[in-house]
A and B are shown apart, each in its own frame.
Chain A
Amino acid sequence: MKHARILLNHAPERGPLHAIEDDGALRLDDGQRVPFEAVRWLPPLAPVPRARSIFALGLNYADHAKELEFKPPEEPLVFLKGEASLIGHREHTVRPADARYMHYECELAVVIGRTARHVKRDQAYEYVQGYTVANDYAIRDYLENWYRPNLRVKNRDTGTPLGPWLVDAADIHARPGGPMNLALQTTVNGQITQRGNTRDMVFDVPFLIEYFSAFMTLSPGDLILTGTPDGVVDCPPGAEIVTSIEAIGELHNFIRQG
């Protein structure tokens, strides 16, 4: 099943609502069907009592590491983001006025479903609630070599579109290869610019859950953005960027001049 969180355009005061995908439309919990065009999409995450931990991986596809002139890391290169950077499907991401190189990163995002501590990789999938698509934009002009990638590059307001769907883990785990056999693709104004497959991750999803839970407790709603493959390009103002992952969804985003 595919879950969304939305605001109704005609009744935003009803607040964020849960909906599921139903034959090309959205079905609300009260049974009402609404077309995709009648809603504002939010990140497909239920609220959590404490700030959710949002992990993101750098250089987690061997080809992307090569593209950036880095050796693939021997242990995960992980950085953290705040929830304020998240926006939903079909929202706008700001390109700073002085940026010369801003690129998307199409990433499989894992949503944790159960409290996880000292989880072994063989059990890791039991702790996943579901999967969604993240676009982890980077403004490369602002890269500095202090706690790199630094937050000014990676934790900007509007800088992390997420969605449109949270797909139940069971639906993905039932597929051959599970989450580690999904095609990724990004288009800029309809032109394909990035192609990859999650099977090429350096550190796969079970490894990452084991790795993080070895030194910290993961809580329901925590997110792991698993990195991006080769093929990142500059995103000019006005561009429509579509990051998509097989069986999970197509995440649309628009670049707005800051």
Chain B
Amino acid sequence: MSAAPWQPAGTVYGVLLNFRNEYERWQPRMHEAPYKAPPQAPVLYVKTANTGNPDGGTVAVPTGMTGVAGVEAGAAIGLVMGEHGPVACALLNDFSLPHASYFRPPVKFRCRDGFLGTPRQTVPLTSLADLATLQLQVHVNGALRQTVELSQLMRTPATLLAEVNAFMTLRPGDVLMLGCDVGPDGQRPLLQPGDTVTLTAPGFAPLTHHIGTEALA
């Protein structure tokens, strides 16, 4: 019998627009209403504990919710914090319902039950610099759909950590995700009920989730 899968002990934070590709696509609109200016501080969000969904689990797409065409996969590396900075990495699938506006906090898009795919184990972190060349791959039903290059981060892990810690302390057990890139088409892979999504990255165990449906009351 295997040990219980890892779960984040603390609060999980995500960051928006931390990949060059997505940032540059947004840049022409950043001065328009309602944004009016490019973001200065890292644009953060919280993934609540109810989102935790261990490897092999099912992610439910709400049916009957206006405008919902599926759930986006969000291949991400999360830094797991220790007493004095990050001590481990987790390969995470930061699922989200598509949302065209980044004006208001995305709670009902990102914090639904099961919307954070979590691995069975984390991987010890020896050096943040090792992440700079890491590649993540998103496979849907066995076919490669997206390759994410951590070399394309807007803020490196060290810079992001410093800017976040400047106003909020990341505590032992907290997790800071480095962001989710979009593909060449400007979208994150959109998943439909019946799909199976697997994330892979060198040094990490594959992370698989199945997409199902949730009938809204």
Contacts and interface: CB of A to CB of B under 8 A. Distances in A.
A and B associate: yes
Interface of A: 50-53, 55, 77-85, 96, 117-118, 142, 144-152, 155-157, 214-219
A214 B168 contact: no
Interface string B49-90: 111100000000010000000000000000000000000000
Nearest to A48: B49
Contact of B104 (A80, A117, A147): A147
A192 to B, nearest CB: 30
State the majority secondary structure of interface residues on B: loop
A80 B45 contact: yes
A151 B39 CA distance: 12
A82 B165 CA distance: 13
A53 B49 contact: yes
Contact of B167 (A55, A152, A214, A217): A152
* Interchain residue pairs A-B with the least CB separation, the first 6: A80-B46, A50-B49, A82-B11, A79-B105, A53-B48, A151-B44
Given A82-B174, A84-B169, A156-B168, A51 B106 contact: no
Nearest to B97: A215
A216 B49 CA distance: 10
Nearest to A55: B107
Interface in B4-22: 7-13, 16-17
Given A157-B167, A157-B168, A157-B169, A51 B41 contact: no
14 contacts: A50-B7, A51-B12, A51-B49, A53-B48, A77-B104, A80-B48, A82-B168, A84-B168, A144-B43, A146-B103, A147-B102, A147-B105, A214-B216, A215-B62
Contacts of A78: 105, 107
Nearest to A115: B50
B153 to A, nearest CB: 17
A84 B217 CA distance: 34
A145 B36 contact: yes
B105 A148 contact: yes
B212 to A, nearest CB: 15
B180 interface: no
A146 B8 contact: no
**Interface size range on B against A:** 35 or more
B127 to A, nearest CB: 26
Contacts of A146: 16-17, 35, 39, 43, 102-103
Contact of B112 (A151, A152, A155, A215): A215
B171 interface: yes
Contacts of B7: 50
A216 B48 contact: yes
Contact of A217 (B35, B50, B107): B50
Given A80-B48, A82-B13, A144-B37, A150 B169 contact: no
B40 interface: yes
B104 A81 contact: no
Contacts of A82: 11, 13, 46, 168, 174
Contacts of B9: 50-51
B80 to A, nearest CB: 13
Contacts of A149: 105
A68 to B, nearest CB: 14
A149 B11 CA distance: 18
B27 to A, nearest CB: 13
B8 A148 contact: no
